[in-house]
Amino acid sequence: MPLLTSILLLLVMARLLGQLMVRVKQPSLVGEIFAGILLGPAILNWIQPNKSLEGISELSVFLIVLAAGLEMEMGAVVKSMKGRAFVAAMLGFLIPLTGGIVLGMALNLNPLTSFFLGLCMSITALPVTVQILSSFNLLQSKIGNFTIATSILNDILGLLCLGIIIDRQDLPSTGGLLPLIMSVLRTSLKFSLFAFLIFATNRLIQWGTHRTSSIEKLISKFEDLFGPEAIFGVAIIFVLFFGSMSETLGSHFIIGAFFGALLLSRDVFGTSIFSGLQNTIQSLTSGFLGPLFFAYIGLSFSVQSLAHPEMIIGVLLVSIFSKILGGYFGGKLLKMTHLEALGAGIILNGRGIMELVVANIAYQKGLINQNLFSTLIIMGIVTTMMTPLLFAKTKLGSVQRSRV
């Protein structure tokens, strides 16, 4: 099938099924994935995954990560990494990670694949978290602050671990201890250099925004001179620079793209220009490239994975209970009530976008096979769909719903 015809069918079906999911109060990405499953080899077999669609998918990942980074603030990330809040957030990451590794070893997966399975279980979808908190009027509550900070930290740790896995993928299995030590040192040095680049750029931006009161006026003049599309171009170039630096240092480009987007803030652009930039990127992502990305993921779904129900059931049970447990213990550490801590764990259970992005990258890199990838798609769909429904069933959700 011609490329443009494939894009047309995927986009139309993804938008239709995505809106259908929104009507029944579910994230649109669920319908978009179902569109790919329907049109792909799993059911109708009208569209096959190919290099052209894969290239569009990579561009989509870039903009999805860029949009996610713009939604976060560097200050909130730094705050989530301090004191007891850091320990609480780490529980929400380490418990599912451990559960996934243990499950992977029980399923006779190799250590790298087992670690990656745990990594996908440990990630929380920030957009899903924000959407649920907003619908229950909990964004400014204790449970809201904890789950958002935990989601941010979990996503960052997940992306960093992904970068390490990719960098260590070609590590030779033989050769003694010295090559292993040297490889670890090289990897650590690369990440240290990248971390220093992010830190130095952030300090430079802070210095500029504090010392130069007219920076917003300068950007406004730049916009007047070159047009509003120039701001979009500058932001893309800025984020692409960090993405390319990340790849140059041996990691995946989304690591750099995420942190590059994280450095962009309202203090740099001003509220009105920054909001316009967000709207432009969000429109391009949500309206076009995002649905195509999730539909492309659906194309890679294999019905053969359904022939391994023990893997699907095991992954679902471990991912759900370990994530809720990690969130519960983290909430209790922050002195939440039993109900609040349980609600926090339920909210953190939604995987959504970031888990699917990371799973897709690992599948393209050959880190996991198609059966495990399909299982992870099922996990992402089920946990995303069940999270708002399960939270609404708690007394906390009922009380907050009555206040909205």
> CA 48 to CA 56: how far, in whole Å?
14
> CA 381 to CA 302: how far, in whole Å?
15
> CA 132 to CA 176: how far, in whole Å?
50
CB 299 within 8 A of CB 46: no
Number of C-alpha atoms within 13 angstroms, CB side, residue 49?
A: 21
Number of C-alpha atoms within 13 angstroms, CB side, residue 295?
A: 31
> CA 86 to CA 93: how far, in whole Å?
11
> CA 186 to CA 400: how far, in whole Å?
50
CB 77 within 8 A of CB 262: yes
Residues 6+ apart with CB under 8 A from 173: none
pLDDT at position 174: 47
> CA 225 to CA 292: how far, in whole Å?
34
Model's pTM, two decimal places? 0.74
Taking alpha carbons only, the member of 247, 252, 80 closest to residue 166 is: 252
φ, ψ for residue 28, nearest 5 deg: -65, -25
Taking alpha carbons only, the member of 191, 183, 169 closest to residue 111 is: 169
**Across the 404 residues of the chain, what is the mean pLDDT of every consecutive 10-residue run?**
91 94 82 91 90 85 81 69 80 93 92 89 77 68 79 78 67 54 70 86 78 63 73 88 84 78 79 81 85 87 80 93 93 88 88 78 84 88 81 64 40
pLDDT at position 365: 81
What one-character DSSP code corresponds to residue 325? H
pLDDT at position 152: 75
Give the position of tokens 């602050």: 145
pLDDT at position 210: 67
Listed in order, strand segments (DSSP E) in 177-304 are none
φ, ψ for residue 81, nearest 5 deg: -105, 20
Query: What does each C-alpha distance from 131 to 124, 288, 347 come to in angstroms?
Result: 13, 20, 10
> CA 277 to CA 226: how far, in whole Å?
15
Domain boundaries, the chain: 3-167+186-403
pLDDT at position 250: 66
CB 245 within 8 A of CB 194: yes
End-to-end CA separation in angstroms for the chain: 49
* Domain 3-167+186-403: CATH class, spelled out: mainly alpha
> Which two tokens mark 360?
């897709």
> Which two tokens mark 189?
């040095």
> What is the DSSP secondary-structure string of 93-131?
HHHHHHHHHHHHHHTT--HHHHHHHHHHHH---HHHHHH
pLDDT at position 182: 67
